[in-house]
Amino acid sequence: MRAARLHDYTDDMSDALTIEDVERPEITASDQIIVAVEGAGWCQTDNHIIEGMWTDYVEQDLPMTLGHENAGTVVEVGDEVTAVEEGDAVICHPVRTCGTCRACRLGEDMYCENSAFSGLDTDGGFAEYLLTSERAAITLEDVDPVDIAPHADAGITAYHAAKKATRELVPGNYCVLIGIGGLGHIGLQAIEAMSAAQTIAVDVKDEALSLADRLGADYTVDSSEEDVADAIDGITDGAGATQVLDFVGADATTDLAPEIVTPGGDHHIIGYGGHVHRPAQDLVNGEFAYRGNLVGTYTELQELVALVEQGEIHLTTTEYDLEEINDVAEKLEHNEIEGRAVIRP
């Protein structure tokens, strides 16, 4: 089968991955399934993996097939699989979990002690076929796998953060969303669907702000022309935002927290690549919290699929052939993709 493989870490996205023929994966355990990949979302994390940013956090044996946002059709199942069958359309949670460790018993899939993460520490879905497990697959009813594939990571990551934020939001509160790109436009819709709070969308691109406006943002702030803290201060009459969802995660955006978060509020870091550089006293005085967000759980992916099927959340996507995969990496590196890119192997 054809697959896009990473052989060496590099900052040059123009020829980062190699399209080559590899053996089709085989089932080796009774709970495994093989999915014919119809859509695989390209993610900023893929760029970070190519750059070697994840080597301090996970073991990666190169060459490796990338791709962790996968959906398609089940073509083979292990002997004990009962939740799905051949012919089912599925979206795949990126993490294969054991189901028996304490984290799994608690429903915290991302903390599984025996996990395998497709496209991060094991072969992923930028290929014709993906090996995964029964526990990772969610069947789809009225949704095209190509259309929904990016929700396997981008979607549940945004939803995971939005769900935590909405627990703290009540009518009259404000929620700021920084970066209305591939994740941010999903997070905005999730907040709008699950909360009565006022939403403030922040971005540097006119296209992103126009998208935010179409998706229901109550206010938009062009951070290339306005001082973000001053703009939010004016919109909120000095109250600030109870919750901030930072889909950029750069030094400049994490640095905003003391100026824009209300006392007792949260600055959720979803995008990454930057750092948190604030005096400890800022957190003491403001009594706000920085909160990290690592993908989401299997049940949250189920909830997100339900929102998609109910028409509450829509993805802005562009489709590409597998041979165009390095072009996609370059485009994302230069912030030239609106919404999400989907690879069709």
Q: What is the 3-state secondary structure (H, E, C) of 269-333?
A: ECCCCCCCCCCHHHHHHHCCEEEECCCCCHHHHHHHHHHHHCCCCCCCEEEEEHHHHHHHHHHHH
Regarding whether 221 and 286 lie in a shared domain, the answer is yes
Regarding whether 57 and 26 lie in a shared domain, the answer is yes
d(CA 79, CA 143): 27
Per-residue confidence (pLDDT) for residue 136, from 0 to 100: 96
Regarding whether 9 and 149 lie in a shared domain, the answer is yes
Mean predicted confidence (pLDDT) in 205-221: 96
Regarding whether 310 and 224 lie in a shared domain, the answer is no
d(CA 142, CA 10): 40
pLDDT digits over 291-314, tens only? 999 899 999 999 999 999 999 999
- Tally of structural domains, the chain: 2
CATH number at residue 233: 3.40.50.720
Regarding whether 248 and 269 lie in a shared domain, the answer is yes
Regarding whether 177 and 141 lie in a shared domain, the answer is no
The model's pTM = 0.92
Domain boundary among 273, 292, 311: 292
Q: Report the chain's mean pLDDT, rounded to a whole number.
A: 95
Mean predicted confidence (pLDDT) in 81-96: 96
pLDDT at residue 182 above 90? Answer: no
Per-residue confidence (pLDDT) for residue 300, from 0 to 100: 95
Per-residue confidence (pLDDT) for residue 335, from 0 to 100: 83
Regarding whether 260 and 127 lie in a shared domain, the answer is no
CB burial of 107-129 (b: ≥16 within 10 Å; e: otherwise) equals: eebbbbeebbbbbbbbbbbbbbb
Regarding whether 181 and 147 lie in a shared domain, the answer is no
Regarding whether 239 and 125 lie in a shared domain, the answer is no
Domain boundary among 292, 307, 332: 292
Domain boundary among 258, 274, 292: 292
Regarding whether 200 and 322 lie in a shared domain, the answer is no
Regarding whether 167 and 129 lie in a shared domain, the answer is no
Regarding whether 299 and 254 lie in a shared domain, the answer is no
pLDDT band at 337 (very low <50, low <70, confident <90, very high): confident
pLDDT at residue 250 above 90? Answer: yes
CATH number at residue 330: 3.90.180.10
In terms of C-beta density within 10 A (0-12 exposed, 13-18 middle, 19 or more buried), how is residue 280 classed?
exposed
Per-residue confidence (pLDDT) for residue 228, from 0 to 100: 97
Per-residue confidence (pLDDT) for residue 158, from 0 to 100: 96
Of all residues in the chain, what percent carry a pLDDT higher than 90? 94
- Hey, what amino acid is at 330? E
Per-residue confidence (pLDDT) for residue 336, from 0 to 100: 87
Q: Which domain holds residue 275?
A: 158-292
